[in-house]
Every structure is written in C-alpha cells, then in structure tokens.
Amino acid sequence: MKTPFMDRIPRRQFLAGSLATTLAASTATTAVPAPAARPKAQIAITLDLEMSRHYPRRGITEWDYQKGNLDAATKKYALEAGQLVKRQGGLLHYFCVGRVLEQPDISWLQQLSQLGHPIGNHTYDHVNLKATTPAMAQYRFKRSPWLVKGMTVPEILRENIRLTTIALKERAKIDVNGFRTPGGFRDALDGRADLQQLLLQQKFSWVSSKYPRHAYGEPKQEPAEEVYQSIVDAQQQAQPYRYPTGLIEIPMSPISDVGA
Ligand SMILES: [Zn+2]
C-alpha cells in the first residue's frame, strides 16, 4: 500500500507527530482545552560521550578499544549540542566515558557542566556489565589482558565505575549525576540484584540500562512504516520503574542516533 504521508515527512517529524497525535486523542473526551492548558510531552535528551565504530568512516573499529579517546569533531558536536539545547531553555544529560579525562584538554566538558548540563558515569572503558569473562568486558582487555590480570569481572566493573566518578571529580570538578550502562539491554538489569547492588553501593539511585527491542529495517533503505510503528510501540516498554533493590530504572527511548 502506498503511504504518501510517510514519503513526505522525515522520520523525526513523524515520531513527534505520532506522540502529538496520542496526546490529542487522550484529551479528546474532555472539552477542547485552551492552547496554554494543552499537556506537553516531557522528553529528556541524552548523549553518551564516547567514540563509535564506523565513524567517521565505515570500517573504522579501532574505537572499540579507545571508547573514551574522543576526537575533535565529536567534542565539538557534544559542546555545540549542549549550547543549542541550552539556548532553547533545556538541558542535555551527558554520560561520560571516564578515559576522556586523560586527554590534555577537557575544557569543553567543564563548559557543558557550567551550562548546567548534568554529567553521568558511563564507566571508564565502556565495559559490558553483563560480561562473564574479563575479555568480554571490553575489547581493550581482550587485547591487553594484563590491564585486568588477576581481577574478577565484578572487580573490573566496580573499579571501572569508581574511577570514572573519581576522575570527573578530580580532573573536572564535576559531581557525577546518574549512571548509564554501556550498550542497552532489552531486559535491563532485571534479575541481576548483584549489578543493582553494585550501583547502589557506588551511591547511584538510578540507572539507565534498558533499551527496548524494536524493528530496524535495512541499512541504506527507506524504513518501512512497520519500522516506524515498531519504534513508537517500543515507547511502552521504555517507562521508568523500580527494581526490588530500590534502584530506579530510567530506560532509553528508541531509536538511538547510531541505530538510526
Ligand atoms: Zn555507550
């Protein structure tokens, strides 16, 4: 079936339109509200401060080993995004890979903090919290296992998170605000009281670990309407909740920029 609607508008507009439509439908049973009283969607914009494979060119994967070694273009993008959002009266929540704090110049990160943007912990090396072996925790440890020699996975994770909080404070004078797991898990930290406790012990009251399942479509092809609908439907699975340990989960809302 032809969908001229989808042909005409870009993806982001479509998503915004869908949310607006949902809100309009939910208020349809009451009297038409004055424009000022119309409910507004609450959104959070978040950005992980890390390098991604295939940037700036497909085939580049060395960043897997150096997630925190941000290049100039990435830092410029991160700073300008924060300035743009601030000008519009909003804040952007960043999650910082700790190794970036080893770089000679971190003034861009301090500028973001001074603008009021919260900066969270994204581990020091971008480790996988659900790893079962040290080599699985990070590519860097697979290539250079001596860095974590004699350490168990829980010890690696604890140290990777702890060092990031310390580095933010000592190098940048930034008090850490929140934690996001590297990678998102469709089942979040459900059933992993050990990981929940690990974060609670490091004084985090909330985590952003869940990324709900949705359809992606084929690379370099216009996404089908089912893909858009799948992303909109996934928002139902991206609602905050509390784990039995008391830790709060604040899921990511798809689709992420890299995924898109
Ligand atoms: Zn990440």
User: What does the pLDDT look like over 163-193, one tens digit per residue?
Assistant: 999 999 999 999 999 999 999 999 999 999 9
Taking the centre of ligand 1 as the mean of its atom positions, its distance from the CA of residue 184, in whole angstroms, is 8
Taking the centre of ligand 1 as the mean of its atom positions, its distance from the CA of residue 107, in whole angstroms, is 21
Cis peptide before 255 (omega within 30 of 0): yes
Same domain, 21 and 111: no
Tell me whether residue 260 is in a domain: no
Tokens found for residue 64:
């897997």
The string of pLDDT tens digits covering residues 58-82 is 999 999 999 999 999 999 999 999 9
Same domain, 142 and 188: yes
Structural domain count, the chain:
2
Tell me whether residue 169 is in a domain: yes
Taking the centre of ligand 1 as the mean of its atom positions, its distance from the CA of residue 129, in whole angstroms, is 12
Tell me whether residue 259 is in a domain: no
Specify the pLDDT at position 9: 39
Taking the centre of ligand 1 as the mean of its atom positions, its distance from the CA of residue 252, in whole angstroms, is 12
pLDDT-derived band at 148 (thresholds 50, 70, 90) equals very high
The answer to whether the CB of 245 falls within 8 A of the CB of 197 is yes
Same domain, 35 and 150: no
Same domain, 34 and 49: no
DSSP β-ladder status, 206-210 and 241-242: unpaired
Taking the centre of ligand 1 as the mean of its atom positions, its distance from the CA of residue 139, in whole angstroms, is 14
Instruction: Determine which of 4-13, 44-53, 161-170 has the lowest per-residue pLDDT on average.
Output: 4-13
Specify the pLDDT at position 40: 84
Q: How far apart are CA 161 and CA 157, in angstroms?
A: 6
Same domain, 28 and 78: no
Tell me whether residue 208 is in a domain: yes
pLDDT-derived band at 18 (thresholds 50, 70, 90) equals very low
**What's the chain's average pLDDT?**
88
Same domain, 158 and 32: no
Taking the centre of ligand 1 as the mean of its atom positions, its distance from the CA of residue 182, in whole angstroms, is 4
Specify the pLDDT at position 5: 36
Q: What is the mean pLDDT of residues 24-48?
A: 67
Same domain, 116 and 228: yes
Same domain, 196 and 243: yes
Residue 29 has pLDDT above 90, yes or no: no
Tell me whether residue 123 is in a domain: yes
| Position with higher pLDDT, 82 vs 219 | 82
Specify the pLDDT at position 43: 84
pLDDT-derived band at 32 (thresholds 50, 70, 90) equals low
Expressed as residue numbers, the domain containing 36 is 1-42
ipTM (interface predicted TM): 0.99
Q: What is the mean pLDDT of residues 131-140?
A: 96
Residue 107 has pLDDT above 50, yes or no: yes
* φ, ψ of residue 160 in degrees (nearest 5): -65, -35
Taking the centre of ligand 1 as the mean of its atom positions, its distance from the CA of residue 48, in whole angstroms, is 6
Taking the centre of ligand 1 as the mean of its atom positions, its distance from the CA of residue 28, in whole angstroms, is 40
Taking the centre of ligand 1 as the mean of its atom positions, its distance from the CA of residue 18, in whole angstroms, is 27
CATH number at residue 135: 3.20.20
Same domain, 35 and 162: no
Q: What is the mean pLDDT of residues 113-123?
A: 98
Specify the pLDDT at position 35: 62
Same domain, 96 and 23: no
Taking the centre of ligand 1 as the mean of its atom positions, its distance from the CA of residue 122, in whole angstroms, is 7
Same domain, 97 and 181: yes
Tell me whether residue 92 is in a domain: yes
Tell me whether residue 254 is in a domain: no
Tell me whether residue 257 is in a domain: no
Residue 6 has pLDDT above 70, yes or no: no
Same domain, 113 and 93: yes
